Structure 1
Amino acid sequence: MKRILVIATDGFEQSELTEPRAIMQDAGAEVTIASPEDGSIKGWDKDHWGESVDVDITLDEVSSGDFDALILPGGQINPDLLRLQPRAIELVREFDAAGKPVAAICHAPWLLIEAGLVEGRTITSWPSVRTDLANAGANVVDREVAVDGHIITSRNPGDIAAFTDALKQALAMERVGENA
């Protein structure tokens, strides 16, 4: 069974955490939610506060070696808060250094910038993050999913199907083509 870590805090875009979690669980993965503090975190649902999600583990308790992939949901608030958390950035770097899939959607590529992981890589994101990505040296594209090695990025909630399909492929959780 594949084990996937989701790093999030208050203000995560509701659909960008709950839908990938459900899709990956349906595909047979175990999904763990990590946040700076225990308890629960509150989602942002388009233009208002959404539902809360229980935190399974704090960032300080996470060992990246226990997981096969990392999901970083977006929303404007969530990644902006997380990029100020040294342990969150350290975990992103650990997953990258281990060559494990790192999947970031919407505003979450801010965490990839903070971790120093975008220079020379092909990345997509929410439109307002694209200048930041370009300034950090990324090759910025506008498409539903961009896969550059083990880094997977998408633009918005409308891209969740492509985003999770790319993650499943990266984890070899589904066949790719006839000869897979």
Structure 2
Amino acid sequence: MKKVLLLLAKGFESFEASVFIDVIGWNLVDGDKTTKLYTCGFTKEVTGSFGLKLHVDYLINEIDCNDFDALAIPGGFEEYGFYEEAYHSEFLELIKQFDQKNKIIASICVGALPIAKSGVLKDRKATTYNHKSSIRQKQLADFGANVQKEPIVLDKNIITSWSPATAMGVALLLLKILTSEKNANYIKEIMGF
């Protein structure tokens, strides 16, 4: 069984979290049945953007990255305190551990920023939120990433993307890497995409 850890900072973007939950879940039920998703946060109940509350499976200090095959990080809203936890040293350390083990790290939108802040995107290709102003892409560059003007970027083991519109594409790419292209395409088809 391939285990995916969904790492949630407070203020996480609900749609971006949900695509990982759904794609990995659909695969467990109707796909090749080889993936399962677990959730993690700083507190047992994590409040996302717009007040959505999720009860997580693990606290961040309980995680051993050796127990998981991939890390998924949705973006979030500054207005809801996303960066307070996403930039916390334990959050960044967990990202580094997954990268050191060459495990897949999949992020959506500003979920790329804590990855970059951890140092693992230095001199690597990546992207992040790009709507109207390029402030988030500038932040990504300031952390040392080689910013790409593409909706989804895969550099070695790290997937980054630039908005909620790319969320399903990122989740399906993660599934493809964990299973197969045929299986990911099947899940995409039965989900109606």
**TM-score normalised to the size of structure 2?**
0.82
Cα distance in 2, alignment partners of residues 170 and 150 from structure 1? 9
Q: Paired residue for 1:88?
A: 91
Q: Paired residue for 1:74?
A: 75
Does 2:174 match 1:167?
A: yes
Does structure 2 retain, via aligned residues, the 8 Å contact 1:4–1:31? yes
Cα distance in 1, alignment partners of residues 149 and 21 from structure 2? 24
Q: Paired residue for 1:37?
A: 43
Of 133, 156, 159, the match for 1:149: 156
The Cα of 1:173 is off from its aligned counterpart by 4.0
Does structure 1 retain, via aligned residues, the 8 Å contact 2:10–2:82? no
Q: Paired residue for 1:10?
A: 10
Q: Paired residue for 2:27?
A: 27
Structure with the higher fraction of residues in strand conformation: 1
Q: Paired residue for 1:97?
A: 100
Q: Paired residue for 2:66?
A: 65
Cα distance in 2, alignment partners of residues 139 and 14 from structure 1? 28
The Cα of 1:17 is off from its aligned counterpart by 0.5
Does 2:116 match 1:109?
A: no
Does structure 2 retain, via aligned residues, the 8 Å contact 1:144–1:162? no
Query: Residue 129 and residue 73 in structure 1: after superposition, are their counterparts in 2 closer, same or farther (change >3 A)?
Result: same
Cα distance in 1, alignment partners of residues 5 and 177 from structure 2? 15
Does structure 2 retain, via aligned residues, the 8 Å contact 1:125–1:142? no
The 3-state SS of whatever aligns with 1:99 is coil
Does structure 2 retain, via aligned residues, the 8 Å contact 1:144–1:163? no
Structural RMSD (CA):
1.7
Of 116, 122, 126, the match for 2:125: 122
Amino acid at match of 1:7: L
Hey, which bits of structure 1, 4+ residues long, moved more than 4 A? none
The Cα of 1:153 is off from its aligned counterpart by 0.6
The alignment covers a number of residue pairs equal to: 171
Percent of aligned pairs sharing the same letter: 27
Instruction: Write out per-residue CA displacement over residues 61-80 of structure 1, whole angstroms, 9 at most, x where no aligned residue.
Output: 11111100000110133641
Cα distance in 1, alignment partners of residues 86 and 36 from structure 2? 25
The Cα of 1:50 is off from its aligned counterpart by 4.0
The Cα of 1:169 is off from its aligned counterpart by 2.2
**TM-score normalised to the size of structure 1?**
0.88
